[in-house]
Each structure stands twice: as structure tokens, then as C-alpha cells.
Amino acid sequence: MLRLGHFFQTLYDTKGVFLDAMWLTLELTVVALIIGIIVGLFFALLKLTKNKLLCLISDAYVYLIRGTPLIVQIFILYFGISKIFLIPDFWAASLALALHNGAYIAEIFRGAILGVDAGQTEAGRSLGMSKALTMRRIILPQAFRSALPPLGNQFIIALKDSSLAAFISMDELFNVSTTLGSNNFDEMTYLLIVAVYYLILVAILTIAVNFMEKRMSVYDR
């Protein structure tokens, strides 16, 4: 049975190694999300074009990524592509997370863009704006505001999915907890400790997204 005194003492004693691992987990997640947002927006815009080939490419990407497990995608990048290009474990995990989340973010952006009133596009065009300029200055800012809540959920999912980087020996939170637990024959204590750190990171992400929602809601008044 877990003793609270032992748990808190271990939590304190291992704070250094877990804080380093937490920073790596956060860095991995942020890099993956930045790339994933760019990838997702790109494929969302492809899907919204009238070109059937571009729509097919977007559909194929979304279907392929959403239809295969993330761990398989990480292994393909780490063990497969690294046979041709040497990819460090950090970038293999980051790119796999980015491509994986990009497929879901693409659908979020596509729905948000379609949710913007068609009159907004007509208004931009009536002012002499090109389609690209109308999209950039009028449609996308409104779409991003409505997409922020589901994007926030996707960010949290991406953070938790980063634990799969442990399978390519990255010293992120989950890998550190399982390693320490095995070495000390005390797996449960370290798993509960890593759960605390993940809860802290999720809380930080939730606060950040809520702050952005409040800031953007000012423009809707």
C-alpha cells in the first residue's frame, strides 16, 4: 500500500530529474504543435479548394494519418526514414506528433473556416481584395477564434501523446518514471508522480488556452 509520506518524499527527492523531463516533454509538445498547426492549416486549405486533385491529396493525408497508430508513425520516422536521413530522436518524435496532430487540426480548421458566414467573403471581395487576402485578413482570424476551443483539446491530447516518445528512448516524463520505477522496484510511486507532472502541464495548457479565448472574445464585442 502506498504511503503518503514516502510518496511526497520521493516526489521531492526526484524533482530535479522530473523537472528536466517535464521541460523536454513541453518542448517536444510545443514544437510538434507549431508544426502541426502549419501542416493542418495547409491541408485544410487544400481541402477547401475546387481542385479535385488537391482535395484528394488532403483526404488521403487525413485518412492515412488518422487510420494508423501514432506509435507506428513514430517508429516509421525513427527506424525507417533514418535509414536514408539521420533523424535525432527528438525530431523523429516531434515530426510524428506534428503530422499526427496536423490531420486532426486540418479538420478543425476546415470546419471553422466553413463556419464563417459566406457574406464575409463577399464583403472582402467587394472591397477589391483577392481571394488569398480575404482569406488571410477576414476569414482566418474569425475561423481561428471559433477553432480555439477544439484546438485546446487537441493540444492536451498532443501533450499526453508525447509519452509515446518513450518507446524511442527519449528521456521525457513517462520514460523517466518507468526507468526510475524499475530501478527502485517501486513502479506505482513513480507512475503516480509522473501523473502529477502531467496534470500540472495540462493545467498550464488549459489556462493558456482559456486566456487566449478571453483575449479574442474582446474582438467579438
What is residue 80's predicted lDDT score, i.e. its pLDDT? 79
**What is the distance in angstroms between the CA of the first residue and the CA of the last residue of the chain?**
54
What is residue 12's predicted lDDT score, i.e. its pLDDT? 85
pLDDT tens-digit map of 9-50: 888 888 889 999 999 999 999 999 999 999 999 999 999 888
Spatial CB neighbours of 113, under 8 Å, sequence gap ≥ 6: 44, 48, 139, 140, 143
Could you tell me the residue ranges of all domains in the chain? 4-220
What is residue 92's predicted lDDT score, i.e. its pLDDT? 86
Checking if the pLDDT of 219 tops 60, the result is: no
Q: How many CA atoms lie within 13 A of 169 on its CB side?
A: 3
**CATH class belonging to 4-220:** mainly alpha
Most confident of 113-122, 189-198, 203-212: 189-198
pLDDT tens-digit map of 131-145: 777 777 778 888 888
Comparing 128 with 39, which gets the higher pLDDT?
A: 39
pLDDT tens-digit map of 114-124: 887 777 767 77
What is residue 101's predicted lDDT score, i.e. its pLDDT? 95
**Nearest to 61, CA basis, from 20, 23, 22, 105:** 105
Spatial CB neighbours of 197, under 8 Å, sequence gap ≥ 6: 18, 21, 22, 173
Verdict on whether the full-model pTM lies above 0.85: yes
